[in-house]
Chain A
Amino acid sequence: MNHIPPFRRAIQALAEGQTRAALPWLRQSIAEADEPELARLNLGMALADLGEFGEAEPLLRRALHDMPRLAEPRFRLGRIAAQRLQLTEARECFEAALATDPGHVMSLVGLAMLDEAAGRPEAALALLDHAALLAPSDRAIALFRLRCRAATEPAHAGMEIALSLLASPEGSVEDARLAASLLPPAEALPKLEAGAANQPLNWRWSFAIALVQQAAGEDEAAVASLRLAHLVSDGLPAVQGELGMRLAGLRRHAEAEPHLAQATHFLPSDPSFRSQHGITLFKLHRFSESRAVLEAAVRDFGPLPTLLGNLALTLNAQGLQREALATARRTPENVAGLANRLGVQPYHPQEGTAAALAATARALGALLPAPSLACHPPGFDPHRRLRVGFLSSSFSRHPVGWLTLAGIEALPREEVEVACFSLRPGSDALAQRFHARADLWRELPKLDDLALVEAIRADRPDILVDLGGHGEGGRVTALAHRAAPVQVKWVGAQSCTTGVPGLDWMLTDRWETPPGSEAHYTERLLAMPDGYVCYTPPAAAPPVAPLPASTRGQVTFGCFNNMAKMTPEVLTAWAEIMAATPGSRLVLRTHALADAATRHLVLERAVACGLDPARIEAHGPVPHEALLAAYGEIDIALEPFPYAGGLTACEALYMGVPLVALAGSSFAGRHAVSHLSNIGLTDWITESVPAYVRRAIAAAQDVVGLQDLRSGLRARMVASPLMDAPRFGRNLAVALRHAWHERCLAQ
């Protein structure tokens, strides 16, 4: 068959639907100048069909240049623009295609799709009437027309058309979406269920049922219906992708991932499936795959903000702080974009300073409204019992839970009524303790900012404490609308100032924010006399193990913080420490290291920074108790910088492992400073990288001193303010009362 020219072979493969198989023939045609212009056009079209827009676009532009009288390249570019959500550009392309060829049916359909998506079904219908004249036997156009007719009719008549569309032997997810959108659930569900009972082999009924259930907030039921639709449709990608999306929405990421992987493989042109696939891989700590998926999506769909934001988080999780911040900076400077930036910037070796973070936070704050609470019916009596609300999606086994529970439990009941505003239901042991202490418990559904604030206001808290910040699940920007007369930022992505105008105070201590820090906070500083948190150890924490160096003869350094905190500067400092401590080892243990590619990347960077890979042990995650037990093999913990460990530092100390810390300038950079100061280990705090290195080397040389310290460290910590819950509770009440008094004076 050698005599058949490559272009013909390619066209044959395309005609047989073998799109991917045609690609090498088309590339060969271009290389061998066998119909190169048409080959470029067809290659662009084929790649676009495979969702590889990044590669397709320049080929199509070249085809447009080479063959200006053809409508097809313009139409194809329009379709890519539409899938990148660049709707104006898409419209221009379709209109240009029609100017070239007024009978280009698919461009008419493309314009109709844009009109339909923009809520103009009448305009879409007019275009489709034209298209139907040109292609009277096209079944897809006929169904699309019917769908637009249904949308233009009054709801009930529309619903009847939509139902007949659903009942027809062919159809698409869009038909089901239309049927689901036209009637309220109470009317739609019985009709759809009757349809499903009559036509058990027609998946569109259960797909539509799922959409109605989801609109009614019945997410689990929607998943059940989508599972059925998925099986009945025999794995149709649009259905499977929707199933993956809903599972991910329920945070069932391990179940969602295979569905999203399949759906994006067979339907690569759907940006939301691709984006969610990247996020789901991130949630599963499969960072390198997540990065690959998101980078490919950015190539194909362009710099959509959600893609870039999630890519920034993934890069950060892999320890690529500079690339992460650079990616976050490509997102628009709106609230979401700047909040995303605040999620990665604290980790940046140069830009993670209090001053730089404050600049970003202030830019974010400037975009937020600054309304005040119109009235506060309970009034401003400075001495009465206060209702203090806590807003969190983490009243559970989560760092926020471990660092706030003891303090909230210990708040004096006669002075403070505790109201928990939970953004995510939880039922673990910590959640139960929060429940037990709360005088008022509210599970808040997904609400927009104003509705969320209204829901909190309805319970009239005097003080609202935010425990989410700009982190995942956090809603601190909503508090710009003000939900309580006094608003306080506490634990929960508390890495720097929030910048949010309605946040009056930041709960802190004199080590987290030493004098002079005020300039870097938009909040007033509400300093606790001891530490800003109170640590609750897990009930099942293992006992402190003997010093490993005493049997090994050599010191083992450890760091169980996540990869995002391990900057090249940190790795370089560790290399110096290890070089000066012969025979020593370094044990790393975190989620990212279970991901083979990320692990490889980390070790590569470690080597570049001068570390000996043979002396590094890199472990993936283990269950919490086993993680604590793993401190049994660590002599000295090395704190990262500029983002220090919070809960991780507490856990190391509780397990008898002292830590060498470098004081940073940001809130996130001073957690360990606060904890060490509160247990009287200020000599482990350093102020510069050389001092950090010297301190670690000196500690490693004093095995007797390490042994003494380790044997008494837990008792010392338990007796310290860091774990003295009653003392913390009293002081927290005093601090909150102070904030309340100030508010009463302003009245």
Chain B
Amino acid sequence: MSATAAWVPPLAAPPPLADRLLAEAGRLMERGQPAEAMPLALTATRLAPSAPAWMALGRARAALSDAPGTIEACGRAIDLGGDSAEALLMRARAHARLGNAPALLADAAGAVCLAPRSTEARILLAHALLMAEEYDEALAVLGDLWREQPEDPVAALRLAEAFQRAGRREAAEELASSMLDTISLTPAQRRLAHGVLAQCALTAGDPVTALHAAQRGIADAGADMPLLSLSGHARLNSGDATGAARDIEAALALAPQDGYLRHLSAALNDDVAEGRAPDAYVAHLFDGYARRFEASLFGLGYRVPGLMLRALEELRPGLSPARPIGDVLDLGCGTGLVGVVLHDMLGGRLVGVDLSPAMLREAETKQVYSSLHRAELGNFLRQDHARYQAVIAADVFCYFGELQPAFALVAPRLAPGGHFLFSVELGEGTGWELAGSGRYRHGLAAVEAALAGAGLTPVLLRREVLRTEREQPVQGLLIAATVAP
């Protein structure tokens, strides 16, 4: 007989036990021991499922950073006991942790409906709006809060942060500076204000001012992960890779779970890293970069979009607005530079995919894409069923170590006779390596092997200078491939 196969229904629970479990769980939560509270609350939900029991479980799971578990528990509590602002807020924060912006927005908005005066709910709503890039609405929520509570530094600092995220540098700087001047802030709040100033400067392409602001924050209120990270980025952008490595390593020590910092630190320290850059790294990198991206690339003699066009012209003789390409998929479209170059010759749909919402917003302003998708490349390819005459990935695979999994997803998306065009930065060995820039370089052999493994055959393979970096040419490969016969 198997003891576990048979379903033994819970015996009629004497309510006191469930109550005692919840009371003890509450005590343990107060003592900061959520791991020990959790099994008690879980058992209470089994003995006597009730909204308070599920909420107790939700609180314990939230404290243990178990976002899916928190969402489940809050959902059950809401089902059993109706909406409560606490349940919605807790679930919203779990959604935020998982990066689920629409769900976060829905729950934060629900919480504000139930508790319109709650500072916590409104700040979370503003955060949700910022994540969804609804800057005007976020600024409205935070502006209201600030006007109601002009003495509350939390509202003011969040507003400054929102101004910065919305690209309103002057307003952000003015508010953050005035906070530092006039109000007695906690060290954590001072760090946030300095961070806003540093981030403003960094986004505006002024690493010297950014470094100064970050360092002033560290001297003034002690180091935290964001200030060290900002300092590291400022140094990196001023060409001080050694200093940057030190700062990023220190930031990583304070936030060892941060995939973005881990990747950057590995890159700066020449460590062997994972097979590809984490999505958060790529999205974050370009989010901060979007407004200056093109200026920066043109400043670097960026040639890849032009190279792509010329390759297509070679592969499809007679290509012209009169004899267009057909449907094109632009993977990692960024600000839409490839779209701009190709748009005369398209004749079909141009679909753009990128991780960075800020980049996509820039691409949208170009008005050449039929549709733009915020997605990780692999996820998009798995869900898309269309076929394209050309799939283009310009300067995308520098964020991938292993190429074959991505290539294998591209192959089925090529229409008969369709071309897969991409560039890689050329490495010295036969495999791939992570360079100090945070980008991967690939050897020719690695590219060829990945193509073959994905059932693709190269039809054009050319060594090119992709751009110049610190006045040095960056060597790369431009490749076009078709599905192997």
Contacts and interface: CB of A to CB of B under 8 A. Distances in A.
Do A and B bind? yes
A207 to B, nearest CB: 12
A345 interface: no
Contacts of B24: 227, 231
B35 interface: yes
A225 B3 contact: no
Nearest to B13: A201
Given A200-B13, A200-B46, A224-B38, A194 B21 contact: no
Contacts of A206: 39, 43
Contacts of B322: none
B1 A160 contact: yes
Nearest to A220: B35
A312 interface: no
A199 B40 CA distance: 14
B7 interface: yes
Contacts of B10: 198-201
A659 interface: no
Contacts of A224: 35-36, 38-39
Interface stretch (A163-171, A260-268, A359-367): A163-171
A528 to B, nearest CB: 33
B17 A163 contact: no
Given A201-B13, A201-B47, A231-B24, A194 B4 contact: yes
A453 interface: no
Interface string B177-202: 00000000000000000000000000
B8 A167 contact: yes
Contacts of B1: 160, 164
A140 B333 CA distance: 73
Contacts of B43: 196, 200, 206, 228, 232
A225 B3 CA distance: 20
Contacts of A191: 3-4
Contacts of B11: 199, 201
B46 A225 contact: no
Main SS of the interface on chain A?
helix
A163 B6 CA distance: 12
A227 B40 contact: yes
Given A224-B39, A228-B40, A167 B17 contact: no
Interface residues of A, number: 24
Nearest to B41: A228
A178 interface: no
B323 interface: no
B2 interface: yes
B310 interface: no
A15 B126 CA distance: 71
A223 B36 contact: yes
B228 to A, nearest CB: 15
A64 interface: no
A372 to B, nearest CB: 37
Interface residues of B, number: 23
Between B10, B24, B43, the greatest number of chain A beta carbons within 10 A of the residue's beta carbon is seen for B43
Interface string A163-199: 1101100000000000000000000000100111111
B21 A231 contact: yes
B316 interface: no
A208 to B, nearest CB: 11
A228 B25 CA distance: 10
A336 interface: no
B2 A198 contact: no
Given A199-B10, A200-B10, A224-B35, A231 B3 contact: no
A194 B3 CA distance: 9
Given A201-B11, A201-B17, A166 B3 contact: yes
A221 interface: yes
Given A200-B46, A232-B17, A163 B36 contact: no
Nearest to A162: B3
B368 to A, nearest CB: 53
Contacts of B13: 200-201
Contacts of B17: 201, 231-232
A216 B46 CA distance: 26
A98 B313 CA distance: 101
Contacts, number: 67
Nearest to B7: A198
B20 interface: yes
Nearest to B253: A435
Contacts of A221: 35
Nearest to B16: A234
Contact of A160 (B3, B20, B35): B3
A200 B47 contact: yes
B39 A198 contact: no
A167 B35 contact: no
Contacts of A201: 10-11, 13, 17, 47
A195 B39 contact: no
Between B8, B20, B35, the greatest number of chain A beta carbons within 10 A of the residue's beta carbon is seen for B8
A534 to B, nearest CB: 27
B50 to A, nearest CB: 14
A440 to B, nearest CB: 15
Interface in A204-228: 206, 220-221, 223-225, 227-228
A27 to B, nearest CB: 40
Contacts of B47: 200-201
A195 B46 contact: no
Nearest to A190: B4
Interface string B12-44: 010001001100100010000001101110010
A715 B448 CA distance: 72
A167 B1 CA distance: 11
Contacts of B20: 231
Contacts of B35: 220-221, 224
A221 B42 CA distance: 14
A628 B25 CA distance: 39
B254 to A, nearest CB: 12
Contacts of A195: 3-4
Contacts of B2: 160, 163-164
B4 A225 contact: no
Given A221-B35, A232-B17, A198 B40 contact: no
Contacts of B6: 167, 198
Nearest to B37: A224
Contact of B46 (A163, A167, A197, A223): A197
A228 B39 contact: yes
Contact of B3 (A163, A200, A228, A232): A163
A194 B6 CA distance: 10
B39 A225 contact: yes
A645 B24 CA distance: 44
Contacts of B39: 206, 224-225, 227-228
Contacts of A163: 2-4
B45 to A, nearest CB: 9
Contacts of A167: 3-4, 6, 8
Contact of A199 (B8, B28, B36, B38): B8
A198 to B, nearest CB: 5
A164 B3 contact: yes
A391 B420 CA distance: 58
A291 B139 CA distance: 67
Given A194-B4, A198-B4, 16 more contacts: A164-B1, A164-B3, A195-B4, A198-B10, A199-B11, A200-B46, A206-B43, A220-B36, A224-B36, A228-B21, A228-B39, A231-B17, A231-B21, A231-B24, A231-B40, A232-B43
29 contacts: A160-B1, A160-B3, A163-B2, A167-B3, A167-B8, A191-B3, A195-B4, A197-B46, A198-B4, A198-B6, A198-B7, A199-B11, A200-B46, A201-B11, A206-B39, A221-B35, A223-B36, A224-B35, A224-B36, A224-B38, A224-B39, A225-B39, A227-B36, A227-B40, A228-B39, A228-B40, A231-B17, A231-B20, A232-B21
Those 4 A-B pairs whose CB atoms lie nearest each other, nearest first: A163-B3, A167-B3, A200-B46, A224-B36
Interface of A: 160, 163-164, 166-167, 191, 194-201, 206, 220-221, 223-225, 227-228, 231-232
